[in-house]
């Protein structure tokens, strides 16, 4: 198993109808190019994902350059590129097996001034690899390290990031796994857990280039430090949605809408493990064994505290073969529509743990229930998560995979 390790748009926050509620406005903008988002922990044997990436280039043996900049150092990143782990191939072996011509950038957070500059021989060599690449692939690890390696300290693009942007506009694919997918948003966020984001009412720390994403405002031994997180500047290749990964396995569907509010981003994409979302202009398609959450807050209302509160989120869940039109926000599935419902929905008592969110929504759409109510295991306060049916909600299933379109989700304290 190739465990790709973990680890948009600017809008104006406006006052909505109702005292103390806020809403994020709708946008129709979409990505201008090709972006391939891996949710992390992608199996080495997931040929459908890797073959789709290769085929998207239109070439039988495309050049792929791997950015190892989410690693803690250049040396650690190069180990992941060249050396197999037990049960997990190296990036070089993996991409060679699937028909790519791989290379690696000599760039990391500990040599970024040299490796990202067009004025050094190392930087020039790295830029030549990007110029020749059909795919620029960003590794998993920590997205704050990607940020440190690719941006200048003042937040402007480094020389090499400017070349990546030009190649993107020329048709090259930008791809990333885990942290390498999360960095694709206009803002990137991380650290902490869904309950922490709820408890601190979406008050993520705004971090600078060179910092980590940990929220140290109460010190490093605090609950805020362990369970809350931060956000910082991302690459912006995904222009209108915030990206998160490992969503089902780590119960991150709860932190995504909180981070959307914190970063003033009206849409969210949550990619599951061993799963990818391929965005080509206005159309996105799901590949792999898990699923993708699409969270739409354009008609939602956010409370003002003391804990995170939101009502009226629209949540869709897409699985392999499903498509999402990013301009119209329409979900398209070829699976048969669910027309027979029986039993009752599952009500979780630990809703932010792994796979509880997807269990809640899939049992709801196959049941006679109108809602599924989940609670956090934490108390004082308890987070209450309610999925409920609404006008326009549809669900599909085939071969054990479910597609859910436009369920409503509310989060509040009890």
Q: Which residue has the tokens 């690696």?
A: 104
C-alpha–C-alpha distance, residues 226 and 24, integer Å: 28
Q: Is the peptide bond between 306 and the residue preceding it cis, with omega within 30 degrees of 0?
A: yes
Q: Which residue has the tokens 């997918």?
A: 181
| Residues near 352 by beta carbon (within 8 Å), at least 6 away in sequence | 193, 194, 195, 251, 254, 376, 377, 383
Per-residue pLDDT averaged across 82-95, rounded? 97
The three-state secondary structure class of 323 is: strand
Tell whether the torsion through CA atoms of 263, 155, 225 and 217 is positive or negative.
Answer: negative
Provide the pLDDT confidence category of residue 10 given band limits of 50, 70 and 90: very low
pLDDT higher than 60, residue 53: yes
131: tokens are 């110029």
pTM exceeds 0.85? yes
- Cite the DSSP H helix spans in 44-142: 47-56, 74-82, 91-97, 112-115, 121-132
Tell whether the torsion through CA atoms of 389, 395, 397 and 401 is positive or negative.
Answer: negative
> What's the confidence (pLDDT) of residue 8?
32
pLDDT higher than 70, residue 66: yes
Half-sphere exposure for 327 (CA within 13 Å, toward CB): 5
> What's the confidence (pLDDT) of residue 31?
58
pLDDT higher than 70, residue 73: yes
- Tens digit of each residue's pLDDT (9 = 90 or more) over 35-48: 999 999 999 999 99
Per-residue pLDDT averaged across 199-204, rounded? 98
- Tens digit of each residue's pLDDT (9 = 90 or more) over 244-295: 999 999 999 999 999 999 999 999 999 999 999 999 999 999 999 999 999 9
> What's the confidence (pLDDT) of residue 168?
98
Per-residue pLDDT averaged across 139-154, rounded? 98
H-run or E-run covering 356: helix 356-365
pLDDT higher than 60, residue 1: no
Please give, one letter per residue, the 3-state secondary structure of 251-299. CHHHHHHHHHHHHCCCEEEEECCCEEEEEECCEEEEEECCEEEEEECCC
Maximal C-alpha separation, the chain: 66
The three-state secondary structure class of 207 is: coil
Percent of the chain with pLDDT over 90: 91
Per-residue pLDDT averaged across 169-180, rounded? 98
pLDDT higher than 60, residue 25: no
C-alpha–C-alpha distance, residues 396 and 290, integer Å: 15
What domains are there in the chain, each with its CATH number? 14-332 (3.40.50.880), 356-413 (no CATH)
C-alpha–C-alpha distance, residues 393 and 404, integer Å: 8
Strand partners, 409: 313, 387
pLDDT higher than 50, residue 237: yes
> What's the confidence (pLDDT) of residue 4?
40
Provide the pLDDT confidence category of residue 13 given band limits of 50, 70 and 90: very low
Residue 220 or residue 10, greater confidence: 220
Provide the pLDDT confidence category of residue 23 given band limits of 50, 70 and 90: low
Phi, then psi, of 289 in degrees rounded to 5: -95, -15
Per-residue pLDDT averaged across 148-152, rounded? 98
CA distances from 166 to 58, 127, 148, 270 (A): 19, 12, 20, 27
| Residues near 363 by beta carbon (within 8 Å), at least 6 away in sequence | 343, 345, 346, 372
60: tokens are 């039988």
Provide the pLDDT confidence category of residue 305 given band limits of 50, 70 and 90: confident
Residue 102 or residue 24, greater confidence: 102
How many other β-carbons are positioned within 10 Å of the β-carbon of residue 413? 18
Strand partners, 287: 276
| Residues near 248 by beta carbon (within 8 Å), at least 6 away in sequence | 272, 273, 290, 291, 354, 355, 357, 358
pLDDT higher than 50, residue 29: no
318: tokens are 């897409």
- Tens digit of each residue's pLDDT (9 = 90 or more) over 330-364: 999 999 999 999 999 999 999 999 999 999 999 99
Per-residue pLDDT averaged across 184-208, rounded? 98
H-run or E-run covering 137: strand 135-138
Mean pLDDT of the chain: 93
pLDDT higher than 90, residue 175: yes
Tell whether the torsion through CA atoms of 95, 80, 110 and 106 is positive or negative.
Answer: negative
| Residues near 113 by beta carbon (within 8 Å), at least 6 away in sequence | none
Q: Nearest Cα to 276, choosing from 319, 326, 334?
A: 319
């Amino acid at each position: 198993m190739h465990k790709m390790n973990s680890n948009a748009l600017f809008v104006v926050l406006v006052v909505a109808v109702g005292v103390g509620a806020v809403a994020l406005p709708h946008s129709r903008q979409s990505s201008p190019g090709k972006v391939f988002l891996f949710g992390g922990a992608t199996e080495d044997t997931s040929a459908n994902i890797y073959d789709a990436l290769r085929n998207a280039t239109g070439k039988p043996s495309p050049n792929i350059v791997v950015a190892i900049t989410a690693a803690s150092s250049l040396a650690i990143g190069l180990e992941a590129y060249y050396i197999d782990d037990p049960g997990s191939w190296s990036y070089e072996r993996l991409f060679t097996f699937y028909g790519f011509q791989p290379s690696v950038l000599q760039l990391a957070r500990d040599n970024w001034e040299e490796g990202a500059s067009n004025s050094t021989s190392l930087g020039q060599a790295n830029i030549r690899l990007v110029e020749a690449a059909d795919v620029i692939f960003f590794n998993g690890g920590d997205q704050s390290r990607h940020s440190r390696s690719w941006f200048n300290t003042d937040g402007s693009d480094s020389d090499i990031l400017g070349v990546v942007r030009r190649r993107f506009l020329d048709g090259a694919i930008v791809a990333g796994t885990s942290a390498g997918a999360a960095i694709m948003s206009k803002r990137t966020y991380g650290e902490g857990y869904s309950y922490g984001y709820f408890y601190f009412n979406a008050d993520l720390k705004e971090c600078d280039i060179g910092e980590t994403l940990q929220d140290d405002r109460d010190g490093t031994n605090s609950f805020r430090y362990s369970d809350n997180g931060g956000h910082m500047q991302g690459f912006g290749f995904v222009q209108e949605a915030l990206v998160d990964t490992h969503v089902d396995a780590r119960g991150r569907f709860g932190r995504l809408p909180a981070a959307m509010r914190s970063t003033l981003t009206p849409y969210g994409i949550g990619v599951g493990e061993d799963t990818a979302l391929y965005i080509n202009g206005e159309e996105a398609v799901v590949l792999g064994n898990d699923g993708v959450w699409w969270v739409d807050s354009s008609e939602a209302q956010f409370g003002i505290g003391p804990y995170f509160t939101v009502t009226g989120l629209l949540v869709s869940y897409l699985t392999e073969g499903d498509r999402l039109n990013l301009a119209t926000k329409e979900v398209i599935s070829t699976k048969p529509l669910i027309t027979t419902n029986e039993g009752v929905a599952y009500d979780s008592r630990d809703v932010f743990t792994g796979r509880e969110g997807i269990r809640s929504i899939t049992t709801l759409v196959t049941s006679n229930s109108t809602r599924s109510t989940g609670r956090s295991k934490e108390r004082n306060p308890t987070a209450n998560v309610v999925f409920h049916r609404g006008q326009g909600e549809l669900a599909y299933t085939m071969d054990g995979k479910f597609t859910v379109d436009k369920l409503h989700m509310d989060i509040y304290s009890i």
